[in-house]
Structure 1
Amino acid sequence: MPSAKPVLLTNPTLASNIDIDHVTHFLLELDALKRVNRRSYVTGTTRLENSAEHSWHLAMACWSIAELFELDVNHEKLLKMTLLHDLGEIDAGDTFLFADARNDAHIEERAGIARLQAERGNGITNLTEIWEEQETGSSKETQLLKVVDRLLPFLLNLNTEGKTWIDGGVTRSQVAGALAFIKDSFPSIYNWQVQQIEFATAQGWLIDA
């Protein structure tokens, strides 16, 4: 059987005006997210998860949950938001959920997103717009992202015997407070988490306070 004829992927006229050095520079800027370590431990290992891994996990989890529960969401919009969700951490670093600086983390992250948006090799013209929606919006897609973004580190803690919680001296009430909003957004996930908080506390992974 003869091989398929190659298909030209680019518009030659447009491509002649794009500097591939700029394109590859932007791709390496994105690669820097792999160097940002989070506080969660990867299951079955002793190493910390990085933010790029979390972004992939978040995208896959949101996609799966949206399909399984037949949620009325725009999948393309949802997946784009999950992939951009942590990009600001390239400049700002990861801020622990229970850290005092948590409320100010968005300032440096927003500046980092503006820098990436301005990169000459960036082809995502609405990068800032999408990031802002996942950060401050109230759409169904944003709500689902926020639920799953809290679910995943919670799940990793349960499956590493509360290692991050123990490292940080985290209390039952801190975790319950961080998950409280899920009660209205996704009751079935919230009810499961309440049971797991009680289990984790009984195991000594969370301080009973």
Structure 2
Amino acid sequence: MSNYPSIDRLAELQQLIADFAKVERVPHLADNGRPENDVEHSFGLALTCWYLQPKIAPELDLLKILQYALAHDIVELHAGDTYVFDLEKAASKEERERAALEQISKDWHDFPELVEHAKDYMDKANEEAKFVKAVDKLLPVIMIDIGQKQVWWHKYNVTLEMEREHKKSIRVSDYVSPYYEQLIEWLDKNGNIPKS
């Protein structure tokens, strides 16, 4: 049993998950009336990637994709969520997230895979990381438009043109990039988001 992590360490991992669930994101869960948290978002991203991978990217490594999806926002434990249109906070995002990654590396020295996957995701180190990054850019917009609709877009003064510009990052993955135009057309057709 020498390789088995102790029950105390497993309890610490459960605490990490509980703390991760306290990180609230700006988008609300569809029709739920409360902000989505990072655990829910990471699970939703992993499930969506799992659904998409065999259909649009069967040559990619599904295990890697799922690991990236689960690890991708772990830095937000210390850095917090950064709303993309909060320009002041967005300016310090990379610095805060790199510092958070260092802290997680110290706290979880016995879980180097978590840190490696979070770092590789941030660096878009391979096609699997790019795939997850691109899918991650789709989900909040879809969640907002099926949930809060017009209220959210107006509250945060977000327009279709702003989303068109920001969501170009979906193109980081050749596998996911066809969804870029589809997403913009879907938003426009739904009519919830102001055009400009």
Question: Normalising by the residue count of structure 2, what TM-score does the alignment of the two structures yield?
Answer: 0.87
Q: Which runs of 5+ in 1 are unaligned?
A: 1-11
Matched residue, 2:162: 174
Give the CA deviation at 1:187.
4.1
Shift of the 30–123 alpha-carbon distance from structure 1 to 2, 3 Å rule, reads: farther
1:179-190 → structure 2 map (5 Å cutoff): 179-183=167-171, 185=174, 186-190=176-180
Q: CA separation in 1, counterparts of 2:153 and 2:64?
A: 32
Q: CA separation in 1, counterparts of 2:129 and 2:8?
A: 34
Q: Does the CA contact (< 8 Å) of 1:176 and 1:197 recur in 2? A: no
- Provide the secondary structure at the position in 1 that maps to 2:112: coil
Matched residue, 1:7: none
C-alpha RMSD over aligned residues: 2.1
Q: Deviations over 1:173-209 (max 9, x none)?
A: 2100111243573343122112123225xx3x33332
Q: Which runs of 5+ in 2 are unaligned?
A: none
Q: Deviations over 1:140-162 (max 9, x none)?
A: 11221121111111111221224
Matched residue, 2:133: 146
Q: CA separation in 1, counterparts of 2:47 and 2:125?
A: 21
**Which of 4, 13, 28 in structure 1 is aligned with 2:2?**
13
- Provide the secondary structure at the position in 1 that maps to 2:27: strand
- Identity over aligned pairs, percent: 22
Q: Does the CA contact (< 8 Å) of 2:153 and 2:193 recur in 1? A: yes
1:112 matches 2:97: no
Matched residue, 1:157: 144
**Which of 88, 103, 120 in structure 1 is aligned with 2:91?**
103
- Corresponding letter in the other structure for 2:43: W
Q: CA separation in 1, counterparts of 2:13 and 2:57?
A: 36
**Which of 31, 35, 38 in structure 2 is aligned with 1:48?**
35
Q: Does the CA contact (< 8 Å) of 2:160 and 2:184 recur in 1? A: no
Q: Does the CA contact (< 8 Å) of 1:172 and 1:197 recur in 2? A: yes
Query: Which one has a larger percent helix, Structure 1 or Structure 2?
Result: 2
Matched residue, 1:31: 18
Matched residue, 2:183: 193
1:71 matches 2:61: no
Shift of the 70–159 alpha-carbon distance from structure 1 to 2, 3 Å rule, reads: same
Give the CA deviation at 1:22.
3.6
